[in-house]
């Protein structure tokens, strides 16, 4: 089943709907959240320990009060530190605070000295409501928390993190784990979200399946298995022509390796024929390096129109006159295309809109396409991927942790992959993979999603085998083949 991601505003609307129309009192939802957090706390830090629960002035603080009650009843030594005046709490949070005091636990104002007496910290300060930079006075209190080196469990969202974008709003609590309630927050997958949140656990609070029907998710995250099931079938009567002809353009001076990796990935996708166009002086060397592909110089460009089922441009293309000629001549061929690397840089110089291509920018390339900078892209990746699709059309793959795939109607977020994949050449492998699936007749959005998930899962497999610094792009295609064989 797909994981659905919602905005903070949608989450608040769903909460109100559950309370006002669903028959769930707010205190009931709060108690379910507190109980879920306590159960996870017991799993993560099983021995009874000293807890310091940091509670802000809203309902996130109320979740903390409930957790304090359950944890105390289960043997934890609990202290509760307030980041607001006790008389500021309202509604469910006020009820939870009253129950806490009736249990004999007296909350006290936060002071950094309290950190020394705790084994585990619970972040229940801000939750999902933050949209502006954390105020300096509060930010100053976050610093000793982060410097304490104590393990932190965040409730719903680490304080200081934007729920929708994953941007740190000035200063954030660095969590070791985050348990998020009712809805999955997209910001936990984007930008600084993964680094800030630590391990993320989702608790649906045992709500019925139709509880989320009133809201349209921002994005979904399926799985490699889901997208693998959507691959084109290979009939018994297949031949190399029916399995698709993929052309790949690139391999300029000093960059033949990029084209080689893209072509290898394309072969491993199962494309029937893989043909390369590169500089004439590189053709013989590339041709000798792999017997299954055919290599041409730019004089073969007219053949593209007649034989290509899909076209990939960018791996090692370069930004000189030779690269521009290839882009100008091949760009008008009416077959599905994948543009990456320098093909995107050429597109940024001469923007146009097409519905038959897949664009695969990293944040820097996305910034050039939108006339901004990479930091701006990363601040709100969902808005960026939508802006790219509106301006350029087709399917956009905004690469990076939490890669987003968007076609103007649906958005997929890939949660696989690892930091070891931050290596030159990874994008070339992805370009070849998408081109191969397009050549086999797979719809562009599905081809992009399957390729991104395969690519990320293969990177994870390499990381398990060789560690973060041992993940080499050139070794990815072989792991992709291994994964596909296991799923076949």
CA distances from 9 to 185, 229, 336, 389, 420 (A): 11, 34, 37, 24, 34
Residue scoring higher pLDDT (208 or 353): 353
pLDDT of 307 over the 80 cut: yes
Q: Say if residues 155 and 132 touch (Cβ distance below 8 Å).
A: no
* pLDDT band at residue 1 under the 50/70/90 scheme: confident
Place of tokens 């910001």: 187
134 DSSP assignment: P
If one looks up domain 3-216 in CATH, what number appears? 3.40.50.10260
Report yes or no: 117 and 48 within 8 Å, Cβ to Cβ. no
Mean pLDDT computed over 181-195: 98
Report the alpha-carbon distance of residue 248 to residue 133 in Å, rounded. Answer: 46
* DSSP secondary structure of 320-368: SHHHHHHHHHHTT--S-EEE-THHHHHHHHS----SSEEE---HHHHHH
User: In the predicted model, is pLDDT for residue 148 greater than 90?
Assistant: yes
Q: Residue 243: pLDDT band by 50, 70, 90 thresholds? A: confident
Domain edges within the chain: 3-216, 224-487
Determine contact, residues 403/221, Cβ cutoff 8 Å.
no
Token pair recorded at residue 436: 């191969």
| Highest mean pLDDT pick, 126-135, 232-241, 359-368 | 359-368
Residue 211 has pLDDT above 90, yes or no: no
| Spatial contact of 452 and 405, defined as CB atoms under 8 Å apart | yes
pLDDT for position 45: 92
Instruction: Please state, rounded to an integer, the average pLDDT across all residues of the chain.
Output: 95
Tell me: pLDDT of 178 over 90. Answer: yes
Instruction: Decide if pLDDT at 129 tops 90.
Output: no
CA dist list (Å): 164 to 13, 175, 184, 191:
15, 17, 10, 10
Rounded CA gap, 132 and 82, in Å? Answer: 21
What is the average per-residue pLDDT within 67-96? 94
Mean pLDDT of 320-346: 94
Q: How confident is the model at residue 237, as a pLDDT? A: 87
pLDDT value at 439 more than 80: yes
b/e per residue 184-222 (b: at least 16 CB within 10 A):
bbbbbbbbbbbbbbbebbebebebeeebbeebebbbbbb
Residue 304 has pLDDT above 80, yes or no: no
Residue 176 and residue 158: Cα distance in Å, rounded?
10
Among 68-77, 274-283, 302-311, 462-471, the least confident range: 302-311
Which pLDDT value is given to residue 358?
99
**Beta strand 273-277 pairing with 152-155:** unpaired
Q: Is the pLDDT of residue 3 over 80?
A: yes
Which pLDDT value is given to residue 261? Answer: 98
Helix (H) or strand (E) holding 155: strand 152-155
pLDDT interval class at 277 (50, 70, 90): very high
DSSP bridge pairs for 413: 404
Average pLDDT over residues 361-379: 98
pLDDT in tens, 455-472: 999 999 999 999 999 999
Q: What is the CATH number of domain 224-487?
A: 3.40.1190.20
Summarised one tens digit per residue, pLDDT across range 212-232 is 888 899 999 999 999 999 999
Give the rounded percent of residues in the chain with a pLDDT score beyond 70: 100
Burial class (CB in 10 A: 0-12, 13-18, 19+), 61: buried
Say if CB 440 and CB 270 are below 8 A apart. yes
What is the C-alpha to C-alpha distance for residues 182 and 10, in angstroms, rounded to an integer? 11
Q: Look at residue 305 and tell me whether its pLDDT is greater than 80.
A: no
Residue 263 above 80 pLDDT? yes
> For residues 403 and 257, what is the distance between their CA atoms, to the nearest angstrom?
24
Geometric angle at alpha carbon 414, from 410 and 416, rounded to 5°? 170
Tokens 């190399």 sit on residue: 240
How buried is residue 324: exposed, middle or buried, by Cβ count under 10 Å (0-12/13-18/19+)? middle
Query: Contact at 8 Å (CB) between 302 and 277?
Result: no
Mean pLDDT of 357-370: 99
- pLDDT band for position 302 (50/70/90)? confident
216 Cβ contact list (under 8 Å, min separation 6): none
The count of C-alpha atoms lying within 13 angstroms of the C-alpha of 398, restricted to the half-sphere facing its C-beta, is: 29
Q: Do domains 3-216 and 224-487 have the same CATH topology?
A: no
Q: In angstroms, rounded to a whole number, what is the distance separating the alpha carbons of residues 359 and 90?
A: 49
Query: What's the pLDDT at 213?
Result: 87
Give the rounded percent of residues in the chain with a pLDDT score beyond 90: 89
């Amino acid at each position: 089943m797909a994981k659905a991601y919602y905005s903070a505003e949608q989450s608040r609307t769903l909460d109100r709907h559950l309370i006002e129309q669903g028959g769930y009192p707010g205190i009931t939802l709060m108690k379910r959240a507190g109980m879920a957090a306590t159960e996870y706390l017991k799993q993560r830090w099983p021995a009874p320990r000293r807890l310091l629960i940091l509670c802000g002035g809203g309902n996130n603080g109320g979740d903390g009060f409930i957790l304090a009650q359950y944890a105390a009843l289960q043997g934890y030594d609990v202290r509760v530190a307030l980041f607001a005046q006790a008389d500021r709490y309202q509604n469910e949070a006020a009820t939870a605070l009253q129950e806490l005091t009736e249990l004999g636990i007296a909350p006290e104002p936060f002071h950094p000295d309290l950190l020394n007496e705790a084994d585990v910290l619970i972040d229940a300060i801000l939750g999902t409501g933050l949209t502006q930079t954390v105020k300096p006075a509060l930010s100053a209190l976050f610093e000793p928390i982060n410097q304490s080196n104590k393990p932190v469990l965040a409730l719903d969202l680490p304080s200081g993190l934007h729920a929708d974008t994953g941007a740190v709003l000035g200063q954030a609590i660095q969590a070791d784990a985050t348990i998020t309630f009712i809805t999955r927050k997209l910001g936990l997958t984007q930008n600084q979200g993964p680094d800030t949140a630590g391990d993320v656990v989702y608790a649906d609070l045992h709500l019925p399946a139709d509880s989320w029907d009133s809201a349209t998710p921002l994005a979904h995250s399926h799985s490699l298995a889901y997208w693998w099931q959507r691959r084109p079938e290979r009939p018994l009567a297949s031949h190399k022509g029916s399995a698709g002809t993929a052309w790949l353009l690139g391999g300029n001076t000093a960059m033949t390796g990029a084209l080689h990796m893209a072509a290898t990935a394309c072969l491993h996708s199962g494309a029937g024929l893989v043909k390369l166009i590169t500089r004439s002086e590189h053709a013989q060397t590339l041709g000798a390096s792999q017997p299954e592909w055919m290599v041409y110089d730019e004089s073969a460009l007219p053949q593209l129109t007649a034989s290509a089922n899909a076209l990939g441009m960018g791996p090692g293309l370069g930004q000189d006159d030779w690269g521009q000629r290839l882009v100008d001549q091949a760009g008008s061929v009416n077959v599905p295309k994948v543009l990456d690397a320098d093909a995107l840089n050429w597109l940024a110089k001469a923007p146009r809109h097409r519905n038959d291509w897949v664009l695969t920018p990293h944040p820097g390339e996305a910034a050039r396409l939108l006339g901004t900078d990479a930091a701006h892209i990363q601040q709100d990746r969902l808005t960026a991927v939508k802006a790219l699709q509106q301006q350029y059309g087709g399917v956009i793959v905004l690469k990076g942790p939490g890669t987003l795939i968007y076609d103007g109607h649906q958005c997929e977020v890939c949660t696989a992959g690892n930091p070891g994949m931050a290596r030159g050449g990874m994008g070339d492998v992805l370009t070849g993979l998408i081109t191969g699936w397009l050549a086999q007749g797979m719809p562009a959005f599905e081809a992009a999603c399957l390729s991104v998930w395969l690519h990320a899962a293969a990177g994870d497999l390499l990381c398990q085998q060789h560690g973060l610094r041992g993940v080499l792009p050139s070794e990815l295609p072989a792991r992709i083949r291994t994964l596909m064989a296991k799923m076949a």
